[in-house]
Amino acid sequence: MRAASLLLSSSITAVTALWQFKAVTPEILAQDGGTYLGLPSQDPWYKAPDGWETKAPGDVLRIRPHAYNMTPIAISNVKDTFQVLFRSTNSLGNETWAVTTVFIPNKSHCDGVSNCTQAIVSYQLPYDTSCLDASPSFGLQWGEPYGEIALALGRGWWVSVPDFEGPLASYGASIVAGHITIDSARAVIKVASSEYGINKTSIGFWGYSNGASATESAVEFAPKYAPDLKIAGAAIGGLTPNLGTSGPLLAATQVAGLLIQGIIGVTSQYPEQRKYIVSRLNPSGPYNATEFFWASLMSGWQSLLYYSYVNVFEYFIGGQDDLIVPELTAMFDREGTLGNFGQPNTTIFMYHAIEDDMTPIGETDAVVQKFCDKGANILYHRNAWGGHNDELGNGRQRSLDFFGYIFDGSTKLEVPLTGCKTVNVTFMQDPNTPFS
């Protein structure tokens, strides 16, 4: 390892809210006695069936009932899981497909009740990697990082976790992520009806950090891309509205690995730009192309450890200048500037730490302002307590309360009926108070 390795792990936890999932290799999987789903890159189920290109976005292509072995599952309140493979649209507007994993609660107020509206949370879990085999559909078999799936299940809601980076693991590409998030919702609603007899659903979206990018771009695209889809609301925390300004700041920091993952991830949607990147990487010697692309064999967490404090520009023949060329900056601006895709038409709870150390709050203020000027419906909490990682946990109860509002009419959170409300809060979750 380049970096001083595992000793750093506790301090890395302090600066980034990241799933500490370790990419599983075929060798490890072969030695494990349990029955698990195979690696997405090798699993025959995990690819689109013949003729899929002619289907419409959100159409169901495959269903895998009882997807996970329930014996080792470390997620509570779950009765069963299934996966859906569905058609979507990539960043260039061409057809693609993706997978979502759905968790069914062991107790829902709809159980045994006819004509009941089942609430569904689409939970965009940030996985921060260009490694397909570190997608949530695979990794969640062993448990979840933050306990949020279990909490939502405990409320009786279904939880759908889309692999929003898609089949190319396009970390950082917000356009494809937004489309996939929307199409996963359409597909799950169809399967709820066709396989589970649930014809009435209400769906809300939730995402923090990179999961916020997917969630936020989804609510921007939805009115035009999916006018058929009614989104009850969206909770969006720790948003990164501008990849172009935040990305280069990561080089040579503790989280340099995220920059490498982002360059690989976004260019997976742009073949021309990928060719250019490959042509500018050092072919041999220290900091070479091979080592650069090792990132796509690592989970987000593993790449943080491996590339910690590496000056990412060293991998390029011409240094940082190689990345400041119009075709790349245009690509990053197109994918990574939120607020430009469309005007959301759903109720939003936005939360952000004022002292966010990963993504400055000013950019989120500006996006909220832009939407509100055009009549959006947003409750925006600016939290004076903690940084990026803290707000993940500090925003949890308020997000659950928000979903209580959109699904069940709970008024714990004072969401305006129309228009916007910005509140400066000072909120720290008491570690001794259980979430509800």
Ligand X SMILES: *[C@@H]1O[C@H](CO)[C@@H](O)[C@H](O)[C@H]1NC(C)=O
Site for ligand X, rule CB under 6 A = 76-77, 92-94, 106-107, 114-115, 193, 197, 199, 284-285, 288, 290-291, 345-347, 376-377, 382, 422, 424
226: its two tokens: 């999916």
Minimum CB–partner distance for residue 105 and ligand X (Å): 8
Total residues belonging to the chain: 436
Give Cα separations from 313 to 136, 249, 259, 358, 432 (angstroms).
Answer: 30, 11, 10, 20, 44
Give Cα separations from 28 to 22, 35, 136, 293, 314 (angstroms).
Answer: 11, 13, 18, 21, 33
Of the candidates 327, 371, 365, the residue with the CA atom closest to the CA atom of residue 345: 371
Closer of 33 and 285 to ligand X (Cβ): 285
Minimum CB–partner distance for residue 90 and ligand X (Å): 8
Is residue 256 exposed (0-12), middle (13-18) or buried (19+ Cβ within 10 Å)? buried
Closer of 70 and 325 to ligand X (Cβ): 70
Contact 285, 332 (CB under 8 A): no
Q: How far is CA 348 from the centre of its chain?
A: 17
Minimum CB–partner distance for residue 103 and ligand X (Å): 11
Closer of 90 and 429 to ligand X (Cβ): 90
Minimum CB–partner distance for residue 79 and ligand X (Å): 8
78 CB-near residues (< 8 Å, 6+ apart): 70, 103, 104, 105, 106, 149, 150, 153
Closer of 127 and 316 to ligand X (Cβ): 316
Q: Annotated catalytic sites, by residue?
A: 209, 356, 388
Minimum CB–partner distance for residue 285 and ligand X (Å): 5
Closer of 284 and 432 to ligand X (Cβ): 284
Rounded to whole angstroms, the Cα distance separating 409 from 406 reads 6
